[in-house]
Amino acid sequence: MRLTGFTLTLGLCVLSATLVVKGQPRPRDPNAQTYANNCAGCHGTTITGGRAPTLFDQTWHFGGDDASIRQSIMEGRSGTEMPPFKSMLKEEDITGLIAYIRAQAEATKTSTARAQNPAGQVLHTEKQAVKMEVVADKLEAPWGMAFLPDGRLLVTERPGRLRIIDHGKLVEKAIEGTPTVWTQQDGGMLDVEVHPDYAKNGWIYLSYAEPGPNNTSMTAIVRGKIKNGKWVEQQVLYHAPPELFYPTNVHYGSRFIFDKQGHLFYSIGERGHENEAQDLSLPLGKIHRVNDDGSVPKDNPFVGKDKAVPTIWTYGHRNPQGLAFHPVTGKLWETEHGPTGGDELNRIEPGKNYGWPVITSGKLFGRPGDPNPPPEPADHKEGMESPIVSWTPTIAPSGIAFYTGSRFPQWVNSLFVTGLAGEALRRLDTDGDKVTHEEIIFTGYGRVRDVAVGPDGYVYVALNVPGIRLSDSMPGLIIRLVPN
C-alpha cells in the first residue's frame, strides 16, 4: 500500500515536474513544494528514501529536535553531502519544511509506504493498455541491462555482480571474476553493453566505480568475455590517473551506447568537482567516444587540441546517466542530473559545451562551512547548449531508450525516461529534435533505474526498492511491459 496522505501532497508535487520549468502547476501545499524542490532529489519521496536516508522515520544523526534540524538545513553537515540552504530558503520556508517533515513522519507510523508489487498490474496509458510482468526478482540494486543476440539478458547489480536472465529465469550464480568495485553511496557496478558484433567477437563492456588508495574511487571502463560462467580476457579501455581518484562517492556517470559505425560512447560524471566539467584537460563531466578497443577515433572534435583529452565528444555535463540514438534523426540524446532541480534532456552534438556549472535551471548551493554561496547560474549563455527539456522538481533521470519495436505501434519513436526521484517511468513524444508531449506511464513501484527495448519488442525496466536507510539492502527486479 502507498501512503495515502503522502501521495495526495508530496506525490502530487513531485509528479508535477513537466516539460517546461515555467508555468508548472503548483501543489496546494507550499511546504510540499519546498520539500520537492530542495530535499526529494536526495532523500526521496517516500519512507523508502533515496540515495540519502528518508526524513520520515524520525531517525536523526545530528539531533531530531527542531533546533538541530533547522541547523542542518541552514548550515549543512560537514562530512556529508548535506549542503547549506541558508542562502536559498527563507525563515518561513524552513519552519514550514520542518512542520511538513513532522507531519509526514506521523503519517508513516500507520503505513509501511513500500513500493507496490507490479506483477500483473494493468496500466491504462494514453495510447495503450499494458500489463506489467515480473521477469526476474531477487536481484540487488539492478543498474544496467543489455541483451545478448540469443535473447538472454545481462544485468549489473550495483554491489558488484554481473547476472544473466535466461529467457525469464535468473541464473542463480553470478558471473565469476568480474572487477572489484567500490560500493559506497553512488559507487558500484554500473552499466553493461554488448558489442554490435558480439556473435563474432564475444566482447562485453562494463563500467564501474574502481577503488583507489585511502578510500578513493573513480569510474573505470573495461571489456571482457564470458566463458563457462567466468569473466575472462579483460582489457582496460579507461583507467584514471591517481590524482583523479577522489574521496567523494558521487557522480560516476555512467552509460554506454554504440553507434552504427561501431564507435563506443560512454559518460563520466564530474564526481562532485563542478568546475572540472569545463576543463578539457580532464575526463570528468564529459561524454567520450572511442573505437571498440578504446583507441581514439581520428575525427573526434578535440584530437590534436592543446592539452585536451582526445576521447572527449562533449563537455559541461554534471552526472550523465542516459544515452540513446533517435531512430529517425540518428542524433544522440542524453539525460543528466541537475543540482537541485534542473534535470536535463540534451541533444548531443560533437564538440559542444552543455554548460555545467555555468548554466542550469536548477539551484546551486555551497558546501558545509563555506561562508560564500556560489553565484546564481544563468539559464543560458552564448556558446553553451541549453537542454531540450528540463525538470523541476527533480526526477533524477537515469537510463533512457527510444521505442523501436512492433508490439506497441503507437509508441514508435517515443523516448522512455526513467526516474529515481518520484519513482516514475515517463514516455515522451518526439518530433525530430523536439519533445511535444510527456506522459507518466507508472509510478509507485520503486526507483526506476534503466529501460531497454527487448528483441521481442517488449519494454524492459529495472526497478530498485530502497530500504529505509542507506545501509539497508536494496532489493530489485526486472519487469517488462506487454500489450494487455
Residue listed under C-alpha cell 512542520: 99
Report how far residue 47's alpha carbon sits from residue 82's, in angstroms, rounded to the nearest whole number: 18
Judged by DSSP in three states, 100 sits in helix
Beta carbons within 10 angstroms of residue 278's beta carbon: 18
Nearest to 57 by CA among 100, 101, 105: 105
What separation, in Å, do the N-terminal and C-terminal C-alpha atoms of the chain show? 23
Query: Residue 343: beta bridge partners?
Result: 391
Beta carbons within 10 angstroms of residue 171's beta carbon: 13
Known catalytic residue: 263? no
- Beta strand extents in 161-228 (DSSP E only): 161-166, 169-170, 189-194, 204-211, 217-227
Nearest to 170 by CA among 214, 131, 200, 134: 134
Q: What is the dihedral of CA 465, 468, 471, 474, to 10 degrees?
A: -10
Please enumerate in sequence order all residues whose Cβ is within 8 A of that of 350, keeping only pairs 6 or more positions apart, or say none. Answer: 289, 300, 301, 313, 314
Judged by DSSP in three states, 35 sits in helix
Residue listed under C-alpha cell 494487455: 484
Asked if 478 contacts 471 with a C-beta cutoff of 8 angstroms, the reply is no
For every residue of 117-143, DSSP letters joined together read P-TT-EEE-SS-EEEEEEEEEEEESEE
Report how far residue 162's alpha carbon sits from residue 54's, in angstroms, rounded to the nearest whole number: 29
State the catalytic residue, choosing from 43, 251, 317, 337: 251
Run of H or E residues at 95 = helix 91-108
Report how far residue 423's alpha carbon sits from residue 466's, in angstroms, rounded to the nearest whole number: 11
Report how far residue 322's alpha carbon sits from residue 301's, in angstroms, rounded to the nearest whole number: 21
Residues assigned a catalytic role: 251
